[in-house]
Amino acid sequence: MQCTNNAKQLALAAHNHHDTHGYLPTVGTRHPNQTKAYIPNTPWFPWACLLLPFLEQTATHSAWSTCDYDSPYFSSVDVGWPATMTGSDGGTFDTVSERYAYKTNPISLFFCPSDSEANKLNPYGLYSKNSYSISLGDRTTSIYSSTNRSPFGMDSKNSRTTPGIESITDGTSNTIAFSESITSSEPNLLVKKEVVELYDDDYLLETPITCFNKRSITDPAFYDAGEYTQDKGSNLWGGTVDFNTFHTILPPNSPSCMSLFSYTLITPSSNHPGGVVAGFCDGSVRFVSETIDCGDLNLSVVSSGPSNYGVWGATGSANGSESKSLQ
């Protein structure tokens, strides 16, 4: 019940963001102060930062708005800003430690109770974690990219701003926004919790079946022994798409992969039997079965028109002119 409520709250927060700013939240975002950011045009931070004020987390948002660097990975160095800084809600922060306390601030709305690892800090003790991801639709991406298939854009130089809800021409009730994606405490080769790194950049541009087949033949719940993996959901504040996003290509609870040149195919996952809880762009919440129709995974992704990945792919594309629906 709580997982369902959390997914709904995220979907409603995205609507409130749209009502306030005129567009949906971006997948990745730059720091608010672009003149003093570490890398001004890189979207180091995720969509979660933008939704904080709409999730009753204004104090956390205020702390984030004062951090010295445009990256959550740099936290212990003061670059010469005044000792006292004012956050987005008018609150003051007197030390570097106060400004970076947001990183380890646990936010219960991002924890699904069935995800037993989510309410802990990540394995390095540096960041709070996140059981939920935002949709990138049915087209694979590099780690700092969104796609024209997603209802959410990317806030970085030479990249688009997320459009308004009116751009979801397939209908908000047919377009997925958020889903569960369980977190990991340590690399353990478990398909649901890890992203496997492949050393071939072409597979993501060609056939998703290659990623799907990285499961172990002897135990499909795990990757093949010897694969290199990284944690999913291990950093709520990480803006690269492997941390807090998913694609509607492989069915829920399938493998996730990242290529040598950082193209990603991330699959949502949960500990609920048989699928994942997902929030849609109209604010509704539905259960997506891991047996959902995924079309032909031997086909490549498309940039326009109907998805190659069945009902699941159509659910992810915001403007594919598909008539397929979960309903």
> pLDDT value at position 317?
92
Residue 90 pLDDT greater than 70, yes or no = yes
Q: Which two tokens stand for residue 42?
A: 């890189």
Phi, psi of 171 (to 5 degrees): 100, 135
Q: How far apart are CA 181 and CA 270, in angstroms?
A: 6
pLDDT interval class at 161 (50, 70, 90): low
> pLDDT value at position 295?
96
Domain assignment present for residue 91? The answer is: yes
Domain assignment present for residue 90? The answer is: yes
Domain assignment present for residue 56? The answer is: yes
Domain assignment present for residue 252? The answer is: no
What is the extent of the structural domain holding 39? 2-106
Q: How far apart are CA 67 and CA 164, in angstroms?
A: 29
pLDDT interval class at 76 (50, 70, 90): very low
Query: What confidence tens digit (pLDDT) does each residue in 240-258 have?
Result: 777 789 999 999 999 999 8
Which residue is listed with tokens 């005044």?
Answer: 82
Domain assignment present for residue 12? The answer is: yes
Domain assignment present for residue 20? The answer is: yes
**3 state SS for 15-64:** HHHHHHHCCCCCCEECCCCCCCCCCCCCCCEEHHHHHHHHHCCHHHHHHH
> What is the number of domains present in the chain?
1
> pLDDT value at position 44?
75
Give 104's DSSP letter.
Answer: G
Domain assignment present for residue 24? The answer is: yes
Domain assignment present for residue 88? The answer is: yes
Q: Which residue has the higher pLDDT, 44 or 274?
A: 274
Residues 6+ apart with CB under 8 A from 146: 26, 27, 28, 136, 152, 153, 154, 159, 160, 162
> pLDDT value at position 311?
96
Query: What confidence tens digit (pLDDT) does each residue in 119-159 have?
Result: 787 766 678 888 999 999 998 877 766 778 888 887 765 55
The number of beta carbons lying within 10 Å of the beta carbon of residue 217 is: 7
Query: What confidence tens digit (pLDDT) does each residue in 33-53 have?
Result: 665 555 556 677 889 999 999
* pTM for the whole structure: 0.90
> pLDDT value at position 227?
78
